[in-house]
């Protein structure tokens, strides 16, 4: 029994032996687009992507020599351009396809695991990152404006922020290289994909009465960081 307890204690203490916290700053130029889905009556389609620039602070908490829990706080840009079919309330008029450019900024909290290889070159290690994130929108613009006037709904004016759901959740997958610059300074460069899980639309179904419209975020990001 004594040996068993000592074994359990050793296993419990082992992660602490590797416990190490590394804090850094990261900037992330990114390309985002909006995934759309709807019935053929409204026929939502993604039209073009959007370039954004974000960044923030992050932390790697190592619980093993090659394993770390990663979190932080980032300001992230998302959005893109989409079009949809609009029925014009005029006898004999054909449907039109308005375009909307939706640009959002989110405050994002990642919750991921980073897996590091051993050195693949002097002072360089490859890492793989998997997990998710939660985010809240702090700003939204439609066609560059904070307010949106719907010409197909009696020129009704609404805040662009009211078109976007109050929270976003994402799956994250990425990979990169971390390079040791000095005793405690490291540079990292990688790429990551952020797959939005939540339908962000709170206008077309709620205000316009469209059915089964879904608009979700997708982001490809270049991650450049420095640990201290």
3-state class (DSSP) for residue 195:
strand
14 — pLDDT class (breaks 50, 70, 90): very low
**pLDDT at residue 165 above 50?**
yes
pLDDT digits (tens, 9 = 90+) for 112-164: 999 999 999 999 999 999 999 999 999 999 999 999 999 999 899 999 999 99
- Report CA dihedral (196, 202, 206, 207) to the nearest 10 degrees: -140
pTM recorded for the entire structure: 0.88
- Of 12 and 29, the structure prediction assigns the larger pLDDT to 29
Q: What is the DSSP string of 36-55?
A: EE--TTT--EEEE-EEEEEE
Q: Cβ neighbours of residue 111 under 8 Å, at least 6 residues apart?
A: 70, 71, 131, 132, 133, 134
pLDDT digits (tens, 9 = 90+) for 85-124: 998 877 777 899 999 999 999 999 999 999 999 999 999 9
Q: In angstroms, what CA-CA distances link 180 with 86, 189, 218, 227?
A: 55, 12, 31, 9
Task: Report the distance separating Cα 95 and Cα 90, nearest Å.
Answer: 10
Share of the chain above pLDDT 70, in %: 92
pLDDT digits (tens, 9 = 90+) for 48-95: 999 999 999 999 999 999 999 999 999 999 999 999 999 887 777 789
Task: Report the distance separating Cα 219 and Cα 127, nearest Å.
Answer: 20
Residues belonging to the chain: 228
Q: Cβ neighbours of residue 133 under 8 Å, at least 6 residues apart?
A: 108, 109, 110, 111, 112, 169, 170, 172, 194
How confident is the model at residue 87, as a pLDDT? 87
- Of 194 and 92, the structure prediction assigns the larger pLDDT to 194
Q: In angstroms, what CA-CA distances link 208 with 106, 184, 205?
A: 25, 55, 6
**pLDDT at residue 6 above 80?**
no
How confident is the model at residue 10, as a pLDDT? 42
How confident is the model at residue 93, as a pLDDT? 79
What domains sit in the chain, N to C, each tagged with a CATH number?
A: 19-227 (2.40.160.20)
How confident is the model at residue 13, as a pLDDT? 44
How confident is the model at residue 47, as a pLDDT? 97
How confident is the model at residue 90, as a pLDDT? 74
């Amino acid at each position: 029994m004594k040996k068993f307890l000592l074994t359990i204690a050793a296993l419990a203490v082992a992660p602490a032996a590797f416990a190490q916290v590394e804090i850094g700053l990261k900037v992330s130029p990114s390309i985002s687009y909006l995934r759309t889905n709807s019935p053929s009556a409204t026929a939502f389609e993604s039209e073009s992507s959007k370039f954004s620039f974000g960044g923030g602070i992050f932390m790697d908490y190592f619980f093993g020599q090659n394993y770390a829990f990663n979190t932080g706080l980032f300001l992230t840009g998302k959005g893109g351009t989409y079009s949809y079919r609009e029925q014009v309330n005029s006898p004999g008029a054909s449907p039109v396809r308005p375009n909307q450019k939706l640009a959002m900024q989110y405050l994002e909290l990642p919750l991921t695991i980073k897996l590091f290889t051993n050195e693949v070159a002097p002072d360089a290690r490859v890492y793989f990152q998997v997990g998710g994130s939660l985010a809240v929108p702090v700003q939204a613009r439609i066609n560059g404006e904070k307010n949106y006037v719907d010409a197909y709904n009696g020129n009704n004016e609404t805040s662009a922020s009211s078109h976007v759901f109050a929270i976003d959740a994402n799956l994250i997958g990425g990979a990169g290289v971390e390079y040791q610059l000095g005793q405690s300074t490291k540079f990292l460069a990688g790429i990551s994909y952020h797959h939005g899980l939540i339908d962000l639309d709170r206008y077309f179904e709620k205000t316009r009465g469209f059915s089964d419209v879904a608009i979700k975020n997708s982001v490809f990001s270049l991650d450049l960081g420095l640990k201290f």
